[in-house]
Amino acid sequence: MSSFRCSLKNFRWVALVALLGVGLLGGVSKAAVVDINLTGYTGDNGGAAVGGFAQINPFGPSGTRLLIFNQYNTGGLYTGLSVGDGSAGIAASGSTFFDTPSKFTAGATIDGSSTYASPFSATVFSNPGRSVPDFGSNSFLGFRTSGGQYGYIEVTWTASTNTFRLISAAYESTPGVAIQTPGGQAPVPEPASAMIASLFLGGVALRRWRNKRA
């Protein structure tokens, strides 16, 4: 009988330590996804008329700006987006005049595996030398700020009318941490949910252990 009590006591201590571990991990500060306020920029071509230009600033902690192009420059009309300042850029196939912005789908991961182009000629949807095929619903651009944060911009693009629209945008607060576009796998439960799940599973394990001992 004393052996049984000792084993039960040890089991309870192990369970308590496990639950405390869950709680402590839940209390550690985590990276967070920060939404970007697009108020005033959700009209056709970000609200910039043909020949116009706009920018969303501040874009994030690094001071990176989202640049909206709908203007004539070096031989013709450039329509689309770019991310300015230092090492910032939009994910693209390359950095030349004929390269194009990369298209991400729902649930895609945006991280250091992409090429981030700073020249606006490579990241806009259209320039005097080429145009990008349509971006339908659940289409995203990926970007990296000069501070090293990764983010996404949900957009649509219609080549026949030379028109894009901004739907939503967000970035990861911690530099170097990848971000996932919306529509992917279910998010990891918050600490409170994890704690409840641990308590439930611990209770089930204890009941089974008791039945086995009996």
For the chain, the domains span: 2-30+188-213, 33-180
At 184 the pLDDT is 57
Residue 205 has pLDDT above 70, yes or no: no
Mean pLDDT of the chain: 80
Please answer whether residues 78 and 69 qualify as being in contact, where contact means their C-beta atoms are separated by less than 8 angstroms: yes
Please answer whether residues 183 and 163 qualify as being in contact, where contact means their C-beta atoms are separated by less than 8 angstroms: no
At 158 the pLDDT is 98
At 113 the pLDDT is 97
- Helices within the chain (DSSP H only): 2-27, 120-123, 191-213
Spell out where 76-173 has E strands: 76-83, 89-92, 109-110, 115-117, 124-127, 130-131, 135-144, 150-158, 163-172
Among the ranges 28-32, 73-77, 167-171, which has the highest mean pLDDT value?
167-171
- Residue pLDDT, tens place only, 86-132: 789 999 999 999 999 999 999 999 999 999 998 889 999 999 999 99
The residue behind tokens 């659940």 is 138
> Residues 152-168: what's their mean pLDDT?
97
